[in-house]
């Protein structure tokens, strides 16, 4: 099983959003800049996350996204499912038709692995990831880097037009 870019980016973007909760809506442009994820890709992902009630949006000046649930109520598995990322280690997509329309000899092994992976991802919440990031200081480094960029850009042009 391989987690694709879609799942990785969705979890990363949601963690970025979680780290900035309480400071008002977070713009996708800000997430894009900090995480180096295409803005158009984020728009697609956040449309799916909104349809699954994981985020809510605010339109207009000062608008953006915020979490629709508490950090403890959003598991990594919820995020991955919301963006249509399959959590499946089988080659048949769990259909059991892997070998001439029958289950292959290792079908149960891969099905059990998929279950364990899902179980693990369901046990990890955004609260866990936020605590982990705050412990490593990665979020603080990203915030510091962005504030330095804003100061440098702000001296040359209107910061609001850049971010």
Q: Is residue 153 part of a domain?
A: no
Give counts: helices (H), strands (E), the chain.
Answer: 8, 2
Nearest to 129 by CA among 4, 8, 10, 16: 16
Cα-Cα end-to-end distance for the chain: 37
Q: pLDDT tens digit string along 121-150?
A: 999 999 999 999 988 755 554 554 444 444
Phi first, then psi, for residue 65 (nearest 5°) are: -120, 155
**Which residues are bridge partners to 64 per DSSP?**
58
* Contact partners, residue 50, CB within 8 Å, separation at least 6: 56, 57, 65
For the chain, the average pLDDT equals: 83
Cβ atoms of 111 and 118 closer than 8 Å: no
**Which residues are bridge partners to 58 per DSSP?**
64
Identify the pLDDT of residue 148: 42
Structural domain boundaries, residue 95: 5-141
Q: Is residue 159 part of a domain?
A: no
CA-to-CA distance for 163 and 89, rounded, in angstroms? 40
Residue 1 above 60 pLDDT?
no
Cβ atoms of 12 and 49 closer than 8 Å: no
Q: pLDDT tens digit string along 64-101?
A: 999 999 999 999 999 999 998 777 887 777 777 777 78
- The domain that contains 110 carries what CATH number? 1.10.10.10
Q: pLDDT tens digit string along 48-69?
A: 999 999 999 999 888 999 999 9
Q: Is residue 84 part of a domain?
A: yes
> What is the domain count for the chain?
1
Q: Is residue 155 part of a domain?
A: no
Q: Is residue 11 part of a domain?
A: yes
Identify the pLDDT of residue 144: 45
HSE-CB for 101 with a 13 A CA cutoff: 0
């Amino acid at each position: 099983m391989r987690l694709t870019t879609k799942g990785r980016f969705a979890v990363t973007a949601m963690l970025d959003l979680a780290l900035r909760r309480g400071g008002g809506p977070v713009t996708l442009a800000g997430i894009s800049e900090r995480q180096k994820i295409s803005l158009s890709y984020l728009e697609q992902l956040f449309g799916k996350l909104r349809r699954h009630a994981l985020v809510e949006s605010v339109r207009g000046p000062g608008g953006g996204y915020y979490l629709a649930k508490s950090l403890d109520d959003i598991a990594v598995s919820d995020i991955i499912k919301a963006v249509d990322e399959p959590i499946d280690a089988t080659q048949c997509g769990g259909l059991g038709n892997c070998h001439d329309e029958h289950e292959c000899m290792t079908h149960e092994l891969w099905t059990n692995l998929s279950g364990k992976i899902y179980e693990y991802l369901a046990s990890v919440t955004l609260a866990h990831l936020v605590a982990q990031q705050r412990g490593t200081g990665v979020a603080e480094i990203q915030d510091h880097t962005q504030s330095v960029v804003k100061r440098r850009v702000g001296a040359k042009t209107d910061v609001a037009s850049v971010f």
